[in-house]
Amino acid sequence: MFLLLLMTALIVLLSGIFAMSEASIFTISGTKAEALKNEKVSGAESLLKIKNKINKPIITLVVLNNVVSIAGSIFVGFYSAKVFDHKFVGIISAMITIIIILFAEIIPKTIGERYSEKISLTISKPILFLSNIFTPIVWFVELFTKNFSDVRKITSEEELKILSRMGHMEGSIEQDEREIIEKVFTMNDLTAKDIMTPRTVMEALEKDQLLDEIMPKLQNAPFSRYPVYEKNIDNIVGFVRTLNLLQALNVGENKKTVGFFTKKILEVRETVKLDILLTIFQKTKNHIAVAKDEFGGTSGIVTLEDVLEQLVGEIMDETDEVADLREMIK
């Protein structure tokens, strides 16, 4: 009788450990494992190796769990028949089955999910060691299951949005951080046309204008850069920095034309996506670009500030009278 109880307890204990380990490894995310490794937490390096190649350790745990459960059940059934009358074997088997389901599956997996970080860090090294020992068996199992495996994205856009909302609800992500995370995903949905200053309200300087002529405008200039055109607004030839024009006026270069200070301007299609546009601004070290329509005409002006505002909201200084010129036009 004692041996039967001992064997049952051992089966439940081992099966529970394997079930709990499996649940904890599945529950903890790969990004969390990487973060723990960067923090130099003990066991995190082994855990990250497991997450990067999860099939091998999971197959090992499943095989061990099933071996313990099946072999143990056979022994318990066989020994029960010897100790008890045959008419009690069915009742005893049913009781043992319920015990195994509760204490070797449901409860351990619940604990594994709830305390996934602590448990996975603790068992990562032993599991990695066991999976290396069982490599031949794992290889044999993978040989038969590889055609049923499906490669999927680790995390989709929608899942990341949900995670950011959950993180905000739990208090680990601030409201402004959550908003920026969600706005990042709009960067490949919006185009330059959606955020540009349209040609109907954009301010530009004519190439042949003298600095004397535009001095009043420059004294209260609301912009750090102006596009420069020749003859008409569809022919944007460059841009000037307001600071350079003011410095020129300060040293008496009043009779020079705007064209003398004009620099080449970046040209982009109005249909370019914002994530690509941001990369273009970074690589070319530009802060302003002219957006062209399908016919090559000027559609508007887009700046690096316009792009960044999609992430952090409207950026206004003391000279801005209107938050959004596009909304004003509408």
Reading across the β-sheet that carries 205-206, which strands appear in turn? 205-206, 225-230, 232-241
pTM of the predicted model as reported, rounded to 2 decimal places? 0.53
pLDDT tens for 81-139 read: 666 666 666 677 677 778 878 888 889 999 999 999 999 999 999 998 988 888 888 78
CA distance 210 to 22: 76
Predicted pLDDT of residue 102: 87
Q: pLDDT above 70 covers what percent of the chain?
A: 85
Residues of the chain with CATH 3.10.580.10: 192-329
Residue with token string 């090992």:
60
Return mean pLDDT, the chain. Answer: 83
Flag whether pLDDT at 299 surpasses 60: yes
Retrieve residue 22's tokens.
Answer: 């499996």
pLDDT tens for 234-274 read: 899 999 999 999 999 888 888 899 999 999 999 999 999 99
Work out the burial of residue 302: count CB atoms within 10 Å of its CB; fewer than 13 is exposed, 13-18 middle, 19 or more buried.
buried
Predicted pLDDT of residue 81: 67
pLDDT tens for 164-178 read: 777 778 777 888 888
- Contact assessment for residue 240 and residue 228, using Cβ atoms and an 8 Å cutoff: yes
pLDDT tens for 40-70 read: 888 889 998 888 888 888 888 888 888 887 8
Query: Is CATH 3.90.1150.10 the classification given to domain 192-329?
Result: no
CA distance 202 to 326: 10
- Contact assessment for residue 103 and residue 28, using Cβ atoms and an 8 Å cutoff: no
